[in-house]
Amino acid sequence: QYAQKDGFRFFMEKEIYEQSDVVSDCMLERVKDETTSFDEINDSILDGINEIKICACGTSYHAGITSSYLFERLSKIKCNVEIASEFRYKQPLLTKDTLFIVISQSGETADTLEVLKMAKKAGLKTLVICNVDNSSMTRLAHYSILTRAGIEKGVASTKAFSTQTVTLWMLALYFANVKKSISNEVMQKELTALREVPNALKIEDKIHEKTRRLSKRYLHGHGFFFIGRDVFYPLALEGALKLKEISYLHAEGYPAGEMKHGPIALADPELFTIALMPQNLLYDKVKSNVEELSARDSTICSISSLDFELSDDFVKIQETNHYMLEFFEMLVVVQLLSMEISIRLGNDVDMPRNLAKSVTVE
Ligand code: G6P
């Protein structure tokens, strides 16, 4: 089912379009009336746990940062995230009240596998969020939750990321239910939003067409900044990573509020700012950050459900009532935009130079 391009130009394109369906698979039997649940774990997973540590690489690391906001906000558990190759050599303090989570599409990435071994050896409870059953990591960790994205062939990860993020959001809600850390009302609002994710990932023709037209303008210049706050910061990191991976253009993801501490010095019309401006989360704060960049003549492309008059370009997403739905709508936009830019530059979208799908050596 997943091995053919089915009329799409590239596997990446097919996989971007598959996201709505695979996310539905990922949520199957896991989103219940009152909470979320997983066959793979039970409430005792949180016994004696006071914090969560997440380690991963690449796109999986970005899913990890996204979830750290959700674990703190919803589950009220302290959470921090580190890049596996850094964690591995820092002689980290590992304490047994920590639930150690690794995230990996393949389950084989050498650095992530190594930190999982370290944590297990130190006696920590370990959990892997993985797309490949019977991989090295699922065999090693105490608990595994599968993301059910199906085979991902494009080197630039797309549907692996959306299913990881949804899985981690469901997990944050599961923990919230165990710890009774949010009200029933908030839980219901979250569950309603979760059920809407497959819809948010459906791609309207006009959105794809818009990214195709934008790709004509965003080929040159001296760089891109993707900016956002809160969970839109890791989404900015992911947008920038996609663009680097397949277009070979210089791009950075940055917290919107941090631009004034250095990067704004780069602003001029040849600097492209892709501004993630969710209506449901810190809109005015991001808006004022974008205004500062606009005042310094950066070219602004905003992605939002609200019109923003200072934008040079604008991708309008559907209005929703939850920031995570905006997150998934914007995810599709940044994925399509990098793919269209890459295609226009004549690159091999599925097999970018110098990159491998799975990095099994250090
Ligand atoms: C490689 C891939 C990335 C991926 C990263 C981590 O660099 O090109 O797309 O995000 O490895 O892979 P994992 O399988 O551990 O998620």
H-type alpha helices, the chain = 11-27, 58-70, 84-87, 110-121, 136-140, 159-179, 184-195, 197-200, 205-217, 232-247, 283-295, 323-344
27-61 in b/e form (b: 16+ CB < 10 A) is beebbeeebbbbeebeeebbeebeebbbbbbbbbb
Secondary structure letter of residue 263 according to DSSP: G
Determine if ligand 1 sits within 6 Å of the CB of residue 316.
Answer: no
Determine if ligand 1 sits within 6 Å of the CB of residue 219.
Answer: no
High-pLDDT (> 70) share of the chain, %: 99
Determine if ligand 1 sits within 6 Å of the CB of residue 157.
Answer: yes
Q: Determine contact, residues 106/84, Cβ cutoff 8 Å.
A: no
Distance from the CA of 257 to the center of ligand 1, in angstroms? 28
| Beta-bridge partners for 84 | none
High-pLDDT (> 90) share of the chain, %: 92
Question: Average per-residue pLDDT in the chain?
Answer: 96
Task: Determine the pLDDT at residue 5.
Answer: 87
Does residue 276 have a pLDDT over 90? Answer: yes
Q: pLDDT digit string (tens) for 8-56?
A: 999 999 999 999 999 999 999 999 999 999 999 999 999 999 999 999 9
Does residue 222 have a pLDDT over 90? Answer: no
Q: Which residue's C-alpha comes closest to atom 11 of ligand 1? A: 358
CA gap 249, 272 in Å, rounded: 11
Sign, CA dihedral 181-184-185-186, equals positive
CA 79 to each of CA 126, 142, 189, 195, 285: distance values in angstroms, whole numbers, following the listed order: 14, 19, 23, 25, 24
| Ligand 1 closest atom vs CA 156 | 9
Does residue 213 have a pLDDT over 80? Answer: yes
Active site residue 120: no
Kindly report each contact of residues 211-218 with a partner whose C-beta sits within 8 Å and lies 24 or more positions away, as own/partner: 211/315, 211/333, 211/336, 211/337, 211/339, 211/340, 212/340, 214/301, 214/313, 214/315, 214/337, 214/340, 215/337, 215/340, 215/341, 215/343, 215/344, 216/344, 217/313, 218/272, 218/301, 218/337, 218/341
How does DSSP assign 38-54, residue by residue?
Answer: -TT--GGGGTT--EEEE
Distance from the CA of 106 to the center of ligand 1, in angstroms? 7
At 106 the three-state DSSP class reads coil
CA gap 31, 200 in Å, rounded: 17
Structure ipTM over 0.95, yes or no? yes
How does DSSP assign 137-159, residue by residue?
Answer: HHHHSSEEEE-------SSS-SH
Task: Determine the pLDDT at residue 1.
Answer: 62
* Strand arrangement of the beta sheet that strand 299-304 belongs to: 251-255, 223-228, 271-276, 299-304, 313-316
Q: Determine contact, residues 221/299, Cβ cutoff 8 Å.
A: yes
CA 276 to each of CA 292, 305, 324: distance values in angstroms, whole numbers, following the listed order: 15, 10, 12
CA gap 305, 297 in Å, rounded: 23
Determine if ligand 1 sits within 6 Å of the CB of residue 351.
Answer: no
Does residue 260 have a pLDDT over 70? Answer: yes
Task: Determine the pLDDT at residue 3.
Answer: 72
pTM of the full predicted structure? 0.97
The closest of 336, 355, 337, 349 to 10, measured between CA atoms, is 349
| Beta-bridge partners for 251 | 224
